[in-house]
Amino acid sequence: MNKILLFYPPGALFQRGEDRCQQNVDDGSAQAMRACNDLGYAAAVLLNKHYEVKLRDYQTEGATMEDLHRDLTEYRPDLIMMSITNTTIFDDLKLINEIKDKYSPIVVLKGALFYAPEQAMLDLLDLSHVDYMIGGEVDFAIGEVADYALRGEGKIEDVLSILYKDENGGFKRTAFHTWGEDLDSRPFPARELMNNALYKRPDTDEPMATIQTARGCPSNCVFCLTPEISGKRVRFRSPENVLAEMTECYERHGIKNFFFKADTFTINPDWVQKMCRLIIDSPLHGKIQFTANSRVRPLSKETLQLMKEAGCFLVAFGFESGSDEILKLIKKGTTVEENLQAAKWCHELKLPFWGFFVIGFPWETREHILKTKKLILKADPDFIEVTIALPFYGTPLYDTCKDNNLLAESVLGSDFFHSSMRGTMHLTIDELMKLRRNILLSFYLRPKYIFKKMGECVTHPGVFINYCKYGIKLVVNLFKS
**pLDDT tens-digit map of 446-479:** 999 988 888 888 777 777 677 777 777 777 777 7
Residue 213 within any structural domain of the chain: yes
Cα–Cα distance for residue pair 268/265, rounded to 1 Å: 8
386 contacts 319 by C-beta, under 8 angstroms: no
Quickly state the pLDDT bin for 21 (edges 50, 70, 90): low
Domain shared by 167 and 237, yes or no: no
pLDDT of residue 476: 74
In the chain, the percentage of residues whose pLDDT exceeds 70 is 98
Cα–Cα distance for residue pair 279/284, rounded to 1 Å: 7
Domain shared by 267 and 167, yes or no: no
Beta carbons within 10 angstroms of residue 330's beta carbon: 25
**Across residues 65-70, what is the average pLDDT?**
98
CA 348 remoteness from chain centre: 29
Residue 420 within any structural domain of the chain: no
pLDDT of residue 298: 92
Asked if pLDDT for residue 256 goes beyond 80, the answer is yes
Asked if pLDDT for residue 247 goes beyond 90, the answer is yes
Domain shared by 274 and 339, yes or no: yes
Domain shared by 11 and 112, yes or no: yes
Quickly state the pLDDT bin for 31 (edges 50, 70, 90): confident
Residue 17 within any structural domain of the chain: yes
pLDDT of residue 228: 87
Closest CA to 215 of 199, 225, 201, 226: 226
Domain shared by 38 and 99, yes or no: yes
Domain shared by 367 and 461, yes or no: no
**Across residues 303-327, what is the average pLDDT?**
97
pLDDT of residue 477: 73
Residue 354 within any structural domain of the chain: yes
**Torsion angle of the four alpha carbons 317, 244, 146, 92, in this order, in degrees rounded to the nearest 10:** 30
- CA distances to 71, 98, 99, 130, 142 from 104, rounded to whole Å, are 14, 10, 7, 11, 19
Domain shared by 379 and 302, yes or no: yes
pLDDT of residue 462: 77
- Final residue in a domain of this structure, among 137, 154, 173: 173
Quickly state the pLDDT bin for 318 (edges 50, 70, 90): very high
The CATH number for 85's domain is 3.40.50.280
Structural domain that includes position 130: 3-173
**Across residues 269-279, what is the average pLDDT?**
97
319 contacts 355 by C-beta, under 8 angstroms: yes
Domain shared by 319 and 465, yes or no: no
Domain shared by 365 and 238, yes or no: yes
Domain shared by 43 and 152, yes or no: yes
In the chain, the percentage of residues whose pLDDT exceeds 90 is 81
Q: For the ranges 189-193, 243-247, 280-284, 446-450, which has the lowest average pLDDT?
A: 446-450
Q: What is the DSSP letter of 7?
A: E
Q: For the ranges 29-43, 164-178, 262-276, 305-319, which has the lowest average pLDDT?
A: 29-43
Cα–Cα distance for residue pair 321/253, rounded to 1 Å: 39
Residue 411 within any structural domain of the chain: no
Q: For the ranges 185-199, 233-247, 396-410, which has the lowest average pLDDT?
A: 396-410
Average pLDDT, the chain: 93
Residue 381 within any structural domain of the chain: yes
Q: Please calculate the CA angle 417-229-186 and round it to the nearest 5 degrees.
A: 115
pLDDT of residue 421: 87
Quickly state the pLDDT bin for 207 (edges 50, 70, 90): very high
**Across residues 195-221, what is the average pLDDT?**
95
Beta bridge partners of 429: none
pLDDT of residue 25: 80
Predicted TM-score (pTM) of the model is 0.94
Domain shared by 457 and 313, yes or no: no
Domain shared by 152 and 219, yes or no: no
Q: Positive or negative, the Cα torsion across 293, 297, 298, 304?
A: positive
**Across residues 397-419, what is the average pLDDT?**
85
pLDDT of residue 415: 77
For the segment 123-170, what is each residue's pLDDT rounded down to a tens digit? 999 999 999 999 999 999 999 999 999 999 999 999 999 999 998 889
Cα–Cα distance for residue pair 211/291, rounded to 1 Å: 10
Q: Positive or negative, the Cα torsion across 18, 21, 24, 27?
A: negative
pLDDT of residue 20: 65
Domain count, the chain: 3
Asked if pLDDT for residue 221 goes beyond 60, the answer is yes
Asked if pLDDT for residue 118 goes beyond 60, the answer is yes
293 CB contacts (<8 Å, ≥6 apart)? 260, 261, 262, 263, 264, 265, 315, 316, 317, 318
100 or 391, which is more confident: 100
81 CB contacts (<8 Å, ≥6 apart)? 4, 5, 6, 7, 39, 42, 108, 109, 110, 134, 142
The CATH number for 336's domain is 3.80.30.20
Beta bridge partners of 214: 236
| Upper half-sphere CA count for residue 322 (Cβ side, 13 Å) | 21
**Across residues 214-234, what is the average pLDDT?**
91
